[in-house]
Structure 1
Amino acid sequence: MVTQPGLGTLNITQLTAEALRARGLTCPGVVIGRWPTAPDLADRCSLTDLPKDVGAPLLGAVPDGAVTQPPEGFRSAAPGWLHRRWAATGTRQPSPPVSRPEPPPGAPASNGVGRPGRYERGLHP
């Protein structure tokens, strides 16, 4: 699971982890995206609080601005952003398949902007 640092991230990430568990999925770990060059107190606290609150290990942090790097630079730097045990194996436990119900009659197949609707994404009630 990828999350952002800072205020509010603990609640959002914990709710996401609970939603995964409710669907029978396992979260192998958490990666913090957009890690700031000058982390504040909330950012630093998330390093220890996220694994406890989510129930999954912290696997690494992607620095803020990483997306602006050229592909070659991104590929060469990315292994250093992850915990060495994760980067060394490059594997994770596969999640069980999710069964998705058929949409009810008359449900839209998309959300009208070219992206899949709730049922295609598995976000059913």
Structure 2
Amino acid sequence: MKSRKAPGSDEMTVDILKAGGVPVLRWLVKHFADVWINEQMVKEWSVTTLIRLYKNKGDKKIRDNYRGIALLNITSKIFSRIIHNRIQDLINGQLLEIQSGFRPNRSTMDQIFT
């Protein structure tokens, strides 16, 4: 994951996790395994902080001149990425070569010419 991103409700950043080294990595693996085995998500992972940022254009009193940002818990982002990658690998292994829809490194042009 990229560094220098805003933290979620837990105030944890990617930089803090990276600085923790192997002990933090072991803790994350154990934590993720517990979630996977118990099939129970951690409640704090579902807490999202919504903030609005001014787009630097137009009247500040008009809400359309703002964009929303959702600050998510970093451990939930990591866990979600792991699950996403596992599902993606499973799907890519089952799709035929000629099926390109929304797959990495594939384009519409690839589909047209196969």
Q: TM class by shorter-chain length?
A: under 0.3
TM-score, with normalisation over the residues of structure 1?
0.23
TM, length-normalised to structure 2: 0.24
Looking at CA atoms only, which structure, 1 or 2, has the larger radius of gyration?
2
